Amino acid sequence: TPLLQAKTLTKHFPLGGGAVVRAVDGVDFAVMKGETLGVVGESGCGKSTTARVVMQLIPQDKGEMLFDGEIVGGKDLTLKEYRRQAQMVFQDSYASLNPRLTIEDSIAFGPTVHGVSKANAILKARDLLQRVGLDPARFAARYPHELSGGQRQRVNIARALALGPRLVILDEAVSALDKSVEAQVLNLLADLREEFGLTYIFISHDLNVVRFISDRVMVMYLGEVVEIGAVEELYNDPRHPYTKALLSAMPSMDPDNRTMEAPLTGDPPNPINPPEGCRFHPRCPHAQTICSKAKPALVVTASEDGTRRAACHMEIPGSGHSRAPSLEVA
Ligand code: SF4
Ligand code: MG
């Protein structure tokens, strides 16, 4: 069952002079209880804006979200309650920490705002420090600048967990860490997900990291979902040309397993007034006449459980095969 359902979420930023940044443009997806949904795509594809709308840090222009079946911001689930149940960890480990507060005060701050006594909030903070692998006796009274980046990110994770959330959004949360520290924090995140019954949305530009931690993956391009599905199915048999190109560029892909797709060329995605039809068409080696005219629907493609979808005119729905490139689509 879904914990979060996003329905036609849309967020545009008008720039004046008629230009509009279509950062998130009618995005539909669900995150199942207890899973990790990875989100990938080049920068400018709308991953972070999607995260900020899901967190309700910025309001959507259109669309709605259901959290455990209730409308976010509706009468049964106020924004205040939703914001307790959904928490976020950012790339910049300094971003959420007040430099003037000790680590334990930073972690305890949220619960005290929500009515927990200071003494209980501090007890909770120390317990969480232990759980994220930082000895409270050594770390509770320190300040953010006295910690390494990896330690600070553990504090941010503890801080995100202090309100007892069910959904945690990790936006490039390990991207600034050294590779060895990154692996430790990824393992910690996996353990905490089990221990606390969490659901994650894990945003990263690093396809290897996303493969390691995710159950399903959503690929975004210029504010739209172009492919979504179970992680190994998607990595082993990408259906959308954009996914194929992204994966071809992955350094550690086994060369025998690489989809022999040309790496990405052409201009990087620019969400200001994106192209008509399929937004990927100016860069797509398979583009046909129809691709610049009609927007492809996100249709079910081959998958074991029917949840795999791709948005490409050349995909034959349900078959796991593409149309012959020479055939024009009706
Ligand atoms: Fe390429 Fe056309 Fe498919 Fe878009 S719809 S990915 S342009 S083949
Ligand atoms: Mg980003």
Give the residue extent of every domain in the chain: 2-216
Determine contact, residues 248/261, Cβ cutoff 8 Å: yes
What is the per-residue pLDDT across 188-238, written as a single tens digit (0 to 9) for each?
Answer: 999 999 999 999 999 999 999 999 999 999 999 999 999 999 999 999 999
User: Which of 180-186's residues contact partners 24+ apart within 8 Å by CB, and which partners?
Assistant: 181/148, 181/149, 181/150, 182/209, 184/133, 184/150, 185/150, 185/153, 185/154, 185/157, 186/212, 186/213
Does the pLDDT at position 304 exceed 80? no
With a 6 Å cutoff on the Cβ, whether 126 touches ligand 1 is no
Atom number, ligand 1, closest to the C-alpha of residue 290:
2
Ligand 1 pocket, residue 287 CB under 6 Å: yes
What average pLDDT does the segment 173-181 reach? 93
Once rounded to an integer, what is the mean pLDDT over residues 155-172? 97
Kindly report the CA angle at 278 between 275 and 281, in degrees rounded to 5?
75
Ligand 1 pocket test target in 291, 295, 315 with most atoms within 8 Å of CB: 291
284 ligand 1 Cβ < 6 A: yes
Instruction: Give the percent of the chain with pLDDT over 70.
Output: 94
Confidence of residue 136 (pLDDT cuts 50, 70, 90): very high
Does residue 302 register a pLDDT over 80?
no
Mean pLDDT, range 281-290, rounded to an integer: 94
To test the pocket of ligand 1, the residue of 224, 265, 313, 323 to mutate (highest count of ligand atoms within 8 Å of its CB) is 313
Residue 76's alpha-carbon distances to 66, 69, 71, 85, 187, in angstroms, are 11, 10, 7, 14, 35
**pLDDT, tens digit, 9 for 90 and up, residues 237-277:** 999 999 999 998 887 655 555 555 677 877 777 888 889 99
> Which of 239, 244, 288 to mutate for ligand 1's pocket (most ligand atoms within 8 Å of CB)?
288
Binned at pLDDT 50, 70 and 90, residue 326 comes out as: low
Q: How confident is the model at residue 330 (pLDDT cuts 50, 70, 90)?
A: very low
280 CB within 6 A, ligand 1: yes
Could you read off the pLDDT of 72-109 as tens digits, one per residue? 999 999 999 999 999 999 999 888 899 999 999 999 99
Say what the ipTM of the complex is.
0.94
The pLDDT-based confidence of 154 (bands split at 50, 70, 90) is very high
Asked: is 2-216 a CATH 3.20.20.70 domain? The reply is: no
| Ligand nearest to C-alpha 91 | 2
pLDDT at residue 122 in the model: 98
Q: What separation in Å is there between the alpha carbon of 91 and the centre of ligand 2?
A: 9
Residue nearest to atom 5 of ligand 1 (CA): 312
